[in-house]
Amino acid sequence: MNDVSRRHRLRSVATTLAVALTLTLAAAAGCDNRQKPALPSVLDKLRESHIDDQPKIKIGVSTTEPLMGELRDGRHSGFDVEIARYIAASLGFEGDQRIEWKSLDTEGRIPALQAGTVDLVVSGFSMTEERKKLVSFAGPYFVTTQEVMVPKRLKDRIRTIEDLRKPEYRICTSGGSTTETELEKHGVKTYVAKEVGDCVEGIRKDRYDAVSSDETILAGFLSRYPTEFEIVDMPFGTSELLGIGVPIGDPALRDLVAFFLQKSYLEGRKNNSSPWLTAYNHSLGPWLKEDRSQPQPLDVPKLVDFDDKAPRR
């Protein structure tokens, strides 16, 4: 082979290698371009939410429901309150000095979220399709049922939904609740009070004969008056999914709350211990008929939670 042929062959090999290298780099670049974008982080969502840089977080709770949300001796306590504390701490508002508690009754929850009076509502708030048109929800964090509580003097006379329809019995419930709607569907005439506690006091003063509400709320009043009342299991056929209310215009905050509820749920499944289980065992657990576990939250986003710790700003 002469020198000219040898140089021509070397140039051909070099060109082939260069083309192959170019194609390889291009293919690699193409793969990079097709990679999914990085997941957003908890901090990203916090910066998008309206609570970013707030000195305190405003949380609406009940202050009149034993075991769920109660204000006694100047301190908020109950299952809902402990869930609220966990979410607040996860969002960077650890300790009651970083929380501004707002007392809400049943009918005041949606208006408070819409007006910006509160950032979150954690108060036995059932997730319904009608309410989802007005506010957002993260959850559920609890599944309960509608029940009826009667004074022990009537425990053998009020046992069924048919008994509730009898005109001689005065059935009380709280206004604006899902229970009020459910009783209407079953043709039960109701006396509407501002809060379930008003119904309970009305029974004790012989103004009403029974009160209907979520089992969680009734269990609280049973714990207060264990010798006076009994909860009657009635087949209303509906389960109440309790969620945390969030302003409908802040999807970032909703995602964050859902993410941290999911974090507690996964921790409970893995370790049989979680913030949810601690709150439940210290409040509702001893008073409900059967063991419960945290339900899995719905529509939970995938977020990067750095170091698996609550973010601090």
Domain boundaries, the chain: 42-143+241-299, 145-232
Q: What is the DSSP letter of 300?
A: P
Lowest-pLDDT choice from 26-30, 135-139, 183-187, 234-238? 26-30
Has residue 224 got a pLDDT over 60? yes
| Among 127, 122, 145, CA closest to 213 | 145
- Confidence at residue 36, expressed as pLDDT on a 0 to 100 scale: 61
CA–CA dist 64, 80 (Å, integer): 12
pLDDT at 18: 41
Model confidence over 62-91: pLDDT tens digits? 999 999 999 999 999 999 999 999 999 999
Determine what percent of the chain is predicted with pLDDT higher than 70. 86
pLDDT of residue 52: 96
For 10-66, write each residue's pLDDT tens digit: 344 444 434 344 444 444 444 454 566 688 999 999 999 999 999 999 999 999 999
* Res. 146 pLDDT band, cuts 50 70 90: very high
Distance between CA atoms of 139 and 298, rounded to whole angstroms?
6
For 34-63, b/e burial (b = at least 16 CB within 10 A) is: eeeeeebebbebbeebebeebeebbbbbbb
Q: What is the mean pLDDT of the chain?
A: 89
Inter-residue long-range contacts of 104-109, CB under 8 Å, 24+ positions, other chains counted? 104/60, 104/61, 104/62, 105/62, 105/64, 105/174, 105/194, 105/195, 106/174, 106/175, 106/176, 106/177, 106/194, 106/195, 107/175, 107/176, 107/194, 108/60, 109/60, 109/245
The CA dihedral of 199, 232, 82, 63, to the nearest 10 degrees, is 0
pLDDT tens, position by position, 232-291: 988 887 789 999 999 999 999 999 999 999 999 999 999 989 999 999 999 999 999 788
CATH 1.10.3370.10 fits 145-232, yes or no: no
Higher pLDDT, 222 or 16: 222
* Prediction pTM value: 0.84
Helix, strand or coil for residue 129? helix
Matching CATH topology for 42-143+241-299 and 145-232?
Answer: yes
Range name among 7-11, 96-100, 158-162, 294-298 with the lowest pLDDT average? 7-11
- HSE-up of 29 (CA within 13 Å, CB side)? 6
Flag the least confident range among 30-44, 191-205, 228-242, 297-311. 30-44
What is the CATH topology of the domain spanning 42-143+241-299? D-Maltodextrin-Binding Protein; domain 2 (3.40.190)
Mean pLDDT value of segment 209-230: 97
pLDDT of residue 291: 80
